[in-house]
Structure 1
Amino acid sequence: MIRIGTFCRRHPKKLIVLAIVLIAYYFCLPKKLFDSPTATVVESEQGTLLGARIADDGQWRFSEVDSVPYKFEACILQFEDAYFYSHPGFNPVAISKAIGSNIAAGRTVRGGSTLTQQVIRLARNGKKRSYFEKFVELIWATRLELKRSKEDILKLYASHAPFGGNVVGIDVASWRYFGLRPYQLSWAESATLAVLPNAPSLIYPGKNQTKLLKKRNRLLKKLFEKKIIDQTTYELSLLESLPEKPFPLPKATPHLVQYLAKENKGKRIKTTIDENLQRNVNAIVQKHHQNLKQNQVHNAAVLVLDVHTREVLSYVGNTVTTKEHQKDVDMVQANRSTGSVIKPILYAAMLDAGELLPDMLVADVPTQIAGYTPENFNENYSGAVEAKKALARSLNIPAVRLLQQYGLEKFRDQLDVFKLGGINKSADHYGLTLILGGAESNLWDLCKTYANLASTLNHFNESSSEYFTNEFTDLVLKTDQTVDFGKKSMEKTVFDAGSIYLTFEAMKEVNRPEGDESWQFFDSSKEIAWKTGTSFGNKDAWAIGVTVDHVVGIWVGNADGEGRPNVTGVSSAAPLLFDVFNVLPRSEWFQKPWDEFVDVEVCGQSGYLATEICPAKTISIPNKENYVTECKFHQMVYLDSAKQFRVNSSCAELASAESESWFVLPPLMQFYYRPKNPTYKVLPPYRNGCNTNSVAPMEFIYPKNGSRINLTKGFDGKTNELILKVAHAKPETEVYWYVDETFVGQTKNFHEMAIKPEEGRHKVMVLDASGNEVVVTISIE
């Protein structure tokens, strides 16, 4: 201690120089050895490579490996640096031997660099080779040995070693040359990769095969002699052939790679994608694409979700089509016209608000609202249809009328809760077309919404009839993410579990595609709540299905927006939907959330709340204040003794008359309802001599009162006729038509009249044989 102090006093300059040298040595090594850009790598939940995007410098270079496979480690150490775990960063013996061999040969025939020195050389890429550079490598190598563990240094080498062409690192090399993960390589394959960094520009799979084979076999022999592999393994390894050419990297989810690269560029991402399911779904999409393109339909997308974890299990952004047909467009994220796929949200909203009952009759008749005339897809009318069947059949007119009843503004505001991308304009912008595809959204957000609804129901049944405050959350794509559902609460998040359950019950009854129509008669059939959608012009076909465990969403169409005949949700998207469900595990049906239900009596025919005069049945509805009215379709009528005619106090003693409750629809609803419901009984006529002030049994189908009409011209240049239509409770009754007090004709059975009115306002009046009349005023422009 005294001598050190004396030395410091006598040699201060030497001490300063020593300090400077030590400080320089300490800081000589950069904090980050490698700053080269890396590829974006996407892996499945099982660790399999799904796809990658090349690094910005054009190199296939993955991010640093987290471990080095045992076989590759053994091979690389025996080939490059057998004393790796015992030297301080350089090997004096190896350096001496290399110098001697090179002097004797008059050229460089042997290298003496350790793996640590090679890591430094790779990090200092581009530096000109010289004795000074070798000295720098040696100094940095010793510093690296002090800073990092041997395992870390080996990982650096395995991650940054060149393997020929633009292949850098063991991960990429194993995929490119053998199509396998590094841990799946055989001894022969590991040995092949171990010898490649030694001369990657000279020895490359597909060329110089003889040199590569000799190097590999020499290494295998050394492994055998060192007893790292046994004789059988050695002999079998010698029989393995070399790769002829590099394999393309997997492209199982190219659009998912593209999507994730936006915010995770250059990173290795382990996703929630199920490798086997993804492979199956890819095959299903490819099979259907072969059929779809016969109709010049070139694009499709599929999303499969786990309801419980919100994890994305399969992601197909598009078909394997051509660039001409927009193969690179990710149709999972693209906003497209929703068609009818948001109708279930309106149905659930009205059930939740107490404004709808499942069996309640909804009008399905020609409708015009503020100049908007919705049409059913099949252009037919049912007259009246149960609300749940209107949803199952995806009828447009009942949906529009229900939306008007519920409130367009209220429903539009409610959609904000679901954060549906693309629906970002006001209610006035969309109008009532909102429920029929007047708005755009994407497969990602729509599937997320259905998953959230299903999860709400699951959580309610699994807990003590409670909800979660953060139920409506985003989806999970990475394995290091989990969903935070928030705290438990007795208050519903958006819709109550009972309303969601009844919505899924209605969706379960949707008619399935051809070949699967009688699914409910087979024990092996899966119960699925599903909904289709078709946008205007047959541009987009949707199908989304929900079970307790999974959500499957399908979009089919052309990415450029071209519509094609017969492109519908049922014919184009639904078959793909059920094929995907067929490769998923079977799920039980949703449990009924009993605590959210209360029994009420409703009219058996109309579905409205029961009255004293209508046949009642008991159903379960969500337990909340109910705003549905009592049945208005039943009325008490009095009949004569033969029950052939109605009577009233003007023509009979009511005490002796037969009273009967009669189900009566308004004339327009009855006109369309009666042909499809043969059991419907029309009210009997009044007996002769009876006075009646009842409402006229007629109603205009077209035009509606106050309509403004533009008459079009045909190909011959002549103005087309205006077709007037009236519905009569008794079609066989003769009716008489008048325009501006002028008689224009009479009809029987089919009450339609063609006229050619001049421009201006006109009064149209219709009288029947009993003196009943209906009148509308129209304007011709």
Structure 2
Amino acid sequence: MPRRARILLCLTALLALSVAEKLLYEHWVRATELPTVLSETSTEVRDRNGNLLRVYTVENGRWRLHVSPDQVDPIYIDMLIAYEDKRFYRHTGVDPVAMLRASGQALFNGQVISGGSTLTMQVARLLENSGTGHWTGKLRQMRVAWALERHYSKDQILRLYLTHAPFGGNLEGVRAATLAWFGKEPHRLTMAEAALLVALPQSPAARRPDQSPDTARLARNRVLERMTQYAVLTPSAAQAAQSERLPQTRRPFPALAPHMADAARRNQPTQTRHHLTLDSSLQRSLETLAKSALRDLPKTASIAMVVSNHQTGEVLASVGSADYSGAGHRSGYVDMAQAVRSPGSTLKPFIYAMAFDRGLAHPQTLIDDRPLSFGVYTPQNFDGQYRGVLPVADALRLSLNIPVVALLDQIGPAHLMDLMRRNGVQAQLPGDQAGLAIGLGGVGVTLTDLVQLYAMLANQGRSRQLIWQAADTSREGAQILSRSAAWQVSDILSGLAPPPGAPHNRLAYKTGTSYGHRDVWAIGFDGMHVAGVWIGRPDGTPLPGAFGGDLAAPILFEAFQRLKPELDPLPPPPPETLLLSTAELPAPLRRFTGRNAPFEKSPNAPKLIFPPNGARLTLDAGMLPVKLRDGEPPFVWMANGIPVLGGQHRREASLPALSAGYSEISVIDAKGRAARVTVRLD
């Protein structure tokens, strides 16, 4: 065979062998069974501004937070690649140059000087949790590294490293490291911090700065020196970074609003990021306040606080207890902001507002505070004293029991229950039917329920749903109370004297103490925010000597001071509000005598001819024609308990400023006799 032919045959054989080898290599890599790359990361709960409220560990109690390269300071990425894998963006998973260098150094020095592992090989080791010393382990890492490079981009592989690299103890990933060692996210790092993070994963146990500061400092400085050789840092910058102090201790991960965080995770267990409406700064401040508030109380006492923006419905802080761990027998794991308790006197403002709406009373109406019985029910004032005749506004400010029960007797307890239901509060009754005792706390509600009720009062009588998850949208609901009634009650409550030492800032607030001193409350609002405080024992046993005005009210005022430096003013009275003295009121409103007293029939009492009771009518330019017979002029016409036309001598009139819906039309003559009808207006 000619020499040229032999050479050609050899070359062909070598080419075939090379192709076969390549095919075998390709098959070997393609057949690689990749480890799972979708590892569990810590569930994060964030506040309205994106700040961490709480982080949960993954399996085996490890902190491993989701991170991507664009969330990390570029100086760290540059240092990492320069120190660990200079040709990261050029090799295909294994760097032959680095492998040859590592082998040569090992042969020359008789020991391993550098491992030659690429970042991709390190990712393979981290994903499989395999060692690095044995040659079979190294071969497996190479094979997985080649396979990873074929399935994932360089940024995806870098993300895996940033998520899984060990940083000491149970810290995995660069975000867990920066939060634990520096107390911040990794998007802004100093050069010294970045260098420490590069050095730690090589020997995370031996280089922990809190346990081996000298070893950690040497490793960090070695990285900084190497960065000058690779022109990543200037010598002066590296030298300045070497003088920076190492972190002395490992910082705890955020654990704010634990009850709300648990609830978010419970509601959406598959979601790894939860965004709440809370404000982390306010939440932290109120949790601190809660702990200090219980300092002088029995060990079994607990506290809860809720703060909301009543114009948006967003909950800004929710403290379910002073100590989530339950240390000191306080049952801190129980969220007392959601616990059903007796509200004491805190429902009284809503009874008065309903009385104003129904024309039963006015803030300046005189009412009796004297012993009364309602069937078998005989309420007494908390202090056992009686004040005689006094204005309704004073009866509310003094939180007297007998006047408010007298009003509720006329309104009907079912209507108070309906008011709460329409405002989204599902109050719990101890029996099947609502009795008069519900006005004094004989019903079960939560602190969050009460804050939502007072948000309606502060929102000029319109219901406002509270929300605590950022994805939810608060819905402004129906007009539960008239604007004037809501304002009148707010004005009365804002006239209460503040607790000793609290600022005189016109905060509208109400306190309450349930039967047997089991629960003490304080709920208050200004023109923007509403807040509530509860103190008691989670097991429902009494807290002897505890009163809402003494314990809860000072904490409420302190909570508002921590919320903002100045209160937002309450709104002015709506135009339709009747601002009169007792003497100026219509005769039936000057003194409370019960609903039926003004409407008792007499032969010459006024009688409404038009509209008939129960009629459905169409308004003509907002005016409603009315006619009556009998009665003695002058007449006062009222709509829904509010005078709309007075001093009338004619028996025909047109009532102005009526709106669509059900209205109660009544007329009162000069002798205080009256007639009324209920109509629906379209």
TM-score by length of 1: 0.67
Please tell me whether the aligned partners of residues 543 and 574 of structure 1 are also in contact (alpha carbons under 8 angstroms): yes
CA-CA distance at 1:344 after TM superposition: 2.3
Distance 1:155 1:45, change over 3 A: farther
Please tell me whether the aligned partners of residues 397 and 496 of structure 2 are also in contact (alpha carbons under 8 angstroms): yes
CA RMSD of aligned residues (A): 3.9
Asked if 1:499 corresponds to 2:490, the answer is no
Deviation sequence 1:291-316 (CA, Å, 0-9, x none)? x42x6673222222122332222232
Please tell me whether the aligned partners of residues 464 and 474 of structure 2 are also in contact (alpha carbons under 8 angstroms): no
Which residues in structure 2 correspond to 1:351-430 (within 5 Å)?
Answer: 351-420=356-425, 423-425=427-429, 428-430=432-434
Query: Could you tell me which of 426, 442, 445 is aligned with 1:441?
Result: 445
Q: Which moved more, 1:330-339 or 1:280-289?
A: 280-289
Deviation sequence 1:521-559 (CA, Å, 0-9, x none)? xxxx43322111111111211111112211111112233
Deviation sequence 1:70-122 (CA, Å, 0-9, x none)? 23323322332233333333322122222333444555442222222322322
Please tell me whether the aligned partners of residues 345 and 511 of structure 2 are also in contact (alpha carbons under 8 angstroms): yes
Asked if 1:60 corresponds to 2:46, the answer is no
CA distance in 1, matches of 2:643, 2:141: 79
AA paired with 1:209? P
Which residues in structure 2 correspond to 1:517-596 (within 5 Å)?
Answer: 525-583=504-562, 584-592=564-572, 594=574
Distance 1:127 1:225, change over 3 A: closer
Secondary structure at the counterpart of residue 236 of structure 1: helix
Secondary structure at the counterpart of residue 272 of structure 1: coil
Query: Could you tell me which of 463, 469, 475 is aligned with 2:467?
Result: 475
Deviation sequence 1:362-405 (CA, Å, 0-9, x none)? 33222222322222122211223333332222222222222221
AA paired with 2:489? T
Q: Which residue of 2 aligns with 1:717?
A: none
Please tell me whether the aligned partners of residues 89 and 145 of structure 1 are also in contact (alpha carbons under 8 angstroms): yes
Q: Which moved more, 1:531-540 or 1:358-367?
A: 358-367
AA paired with 2:92? P
CA distance in 1, matches of 2:360, 2:124: 74
Secondary structure at the counterpart of residue 337 of structure 1: coil
AA paired with 1:477? Q
Q: Which residue of 1 aligns with 2:625?
A: none
Distance 1:25 1:558, change over 3 A: same
AA paired with 1:368? S
Asked if 1:175 corresponds to 2:167, the answer is no
CA-CA distance at 1:192 after TM superposition: 1.4
AA paired with 1:538? H
Distance 1:629 1:231, change over 3 A: farther
Secondary structure at the counterpart of residue 82 of structure 1: coil
Secondary structure at the counterpart of residue 71 of structure 1: helix
Distance 1:199 1:402, change over 3 A: same
CA-CA distance at 1:453 after TM superposition: 4.0
CA-CA distance at 1:151 after TM superposition: 3.3
Q: Which residue of 1 aligns with 2:332?
A: 327
Distance 1:97 1:302, change over 3 A: same
CA-CA distance at 1:217 after TM superposition: 0.3
Please tell me whether the aligned partners of residues 119 and 157 of structure 1 are also in contact (alpha carbons under 8 angstroms): yes
Please tell me whether the aligned partners of residues 206 and 215 of structure 2 are also in contact (alpha carbons under 8 angstroms): no
Query: Could you tell me which of 110, 113, 119 is aligned with 2:117?
Result: 113
AA paired with 2:43? T
Q: Which residue of 1 aligns with 2:495?
A: 509
Secondary structure at the counterpart of residue 75 of structure 1: helix
CA distance in 1, matches of 2:228, 2:55: 36
Distance 1:332 1:307, change over 3 A: same
Please tell me whether the aligned partners of residues 97 and 112 of structure 1 are also in contact (alpha carbons under 8 angstroms): yes
Percent identity over the alignment is 31
AA paired with 1:590? L
Please tell me whether the aligned partners of residues 278 and 468 of structure 2 are also in contact (alpha carbons under 8 angstroms): no
CA-CA distance at 1:596 after TM superposition: 5.2
Q: Which moved more, 1:392-401 or 1:597-606?
A: 597-606
Deviation sequence 1:650-699 (CA, Å, 0-9, x none)? xxxxxxxxxxxxxxxxxxxxxxxxxxxxxxxxxxxxxxxxxxxxxxxxxx
Distance 1:608 1:69, change over 3 A: farther
Please tell me whether the aligned partners of residues 521 and 535 of structure 2 are also in contact (alpha carbons under 8 angstroms): yes
Please tell me whether the aligned partners of residues 476 and 482 of structure 1 are also in contact (alpha carbons under 8 angstroms): no
Asked if 1:39 corresponds to 2:19, the answer is no
Tell me the matched-pair count: 590
Asked if 1:306 corresponds to 2:309, the answer is yes
Asked if 1:70 corresponds to 2:74, the answer is yes
CA distance in 1, matches of 2:396, 2:180: 51
Distance 1:46 1:599, change over 3 A: closer
AA paired with 1:304? V
Distance 1:538 1:216, change over 3 A: same
Gaps of 5+ in 2: 1-15, 591-597, 599-631, 645-656, 674-682
Secondary structure at the counterpart of residue 114 of structure 2: coil
CA distance in 2, matches of 1:367, 1:628: 29
Secondary structure at the counterpart of residue 533 of structure 2: strand
AA paired with 2:539? D
CA distance in 2, matches of 1:56, 1:230: 42
CA-CA distance at 1:219 after TM superposition: 0.6
Secondary structure at the counterpart of residue 55 of structure 2: strand
Q: Which residue of 2 aligns with 1:765?
A: none
Please tell me whether the aligned partners of residues 360 and 607 of structure 1 are also in contact (alpha carbons under 8 angstroms): no
Please tell me whether the aligned partners of residues 498 and 592 of structure 1 are also in contact (alpha carbons under 8 angstroms): no
Q: Which residue of 1 aligns with 2:102?
A: 98
Gaps of 5+ in 1: 1-10, 458-466, 487-491, 520-524, 636-781
CA distance in 1, matches of 2:275, 2:441: 36
CA distance in 1, matches of 2:485, 2:109: 87
Please tell me whether the aligned partners of residues 255 and 330 of structure 1 are also in contact (alpha carbons under 8 angstroms): yes
CA distance in 1, matches of 2:191, 2:128: 31
Deviation sequence 1:123-182 (CA, Å, 0-9, x none)? 223589765654554454345445544333323222221112111122222222233333
CA-CA distance at 1:264 after TM superposition: 4.7
Larger Rg: 1 or 2?
A: 1
AA paired with 2:254? P
Distance 1:117 1:590, change over 3 A: same
Distance 1:495 1:218, change over 3 A: same
TM-score by length of 2: 0.76
CA-CA distance at 1:446 after TM superposition: 1.9
CA distance in 2, matches of 1:351, 1:137: 79
Secondary structure at the counterpart of residue 329 of structure 1: coil
Q: Which residue of 2 aligns with 1:161?
A: 165
Query: Could you tell me which of 272, 276, 288 is aligned with 2:281?
Result: 276
Distance 1:383 1:216, change over 3 A: same
CA distance in 2, matches of 1:484, 1:231: 60
Please tell me whether the aligned partners of residues 412 and 427 of structure 1 are also in contact (alpha carbons under 8 angstroms): no
Secondary structure at the counterpart of residue 373 of structure 2: coil
CA-CA distance at 1:484 after TM superposition: 5.0
CA-CA distance at 1:33 after TM superposition: 0.9
